[in-house]
Amino acid sequence: MAVINTQQLDCMGHPIYILQVGPDAGPLVLLLHGKMFQKTTWQENGTLAKLVYNGYRAVALGMLSFNNSPAANIEPAEVLKTAIKLPRIE
């Protein structure tokens, strides 16, 4: 398995955390989690490994108010619209 990088990014003044793995030139797959899960779910269930094996660059986004991301009064859709424009995700 390739090295999984954990990064903190600024999203609308709030820190969000991502897991990123795979070749920079690979097609991007952005993974989101639901209420009962977290960004590491994609590592634990083998999804990241399968994507990297098939040549994709995977980014697992930790949504605000989950895990080690602070709570924020921002709609998840707004966080996502902002996050996909961040330099390490584009």
Q: Compute the half-sphere exposure of residue 67: CA atoms within 13 Å on the CB side of its CA.
A: 20
Question: What is the rounded distance in angstroms from the CA atom of residue 27 to the CA atom of residue 19?
Answer: 16
Q: In tens digits, what is the pLDDT along the chain, a chain of 90 residues? A: 688 998 888 888 888 888 899 998 899 999 888 777 778 888 989 999 999 999 999 999 887 766 666 677 888 888 788 877 877 675
Instruction: Give me the CATH topology for the region 5-83.
Output: Rossmann fold (3.40.50)
For residue 2, give the nearest of 41, 40, 45, 48 by alpha carbon.
48
Residues in contact with 44: Cβ distance below 8 Å, sequence separation at least 6, in sequence order: none
Q: What's the whole-model pTM score?
A: 0.81
Could you tell me the two tokens for 14?
């709030």
**pLDDT, position 48:** 93
Domain limits, the chain:
5-83
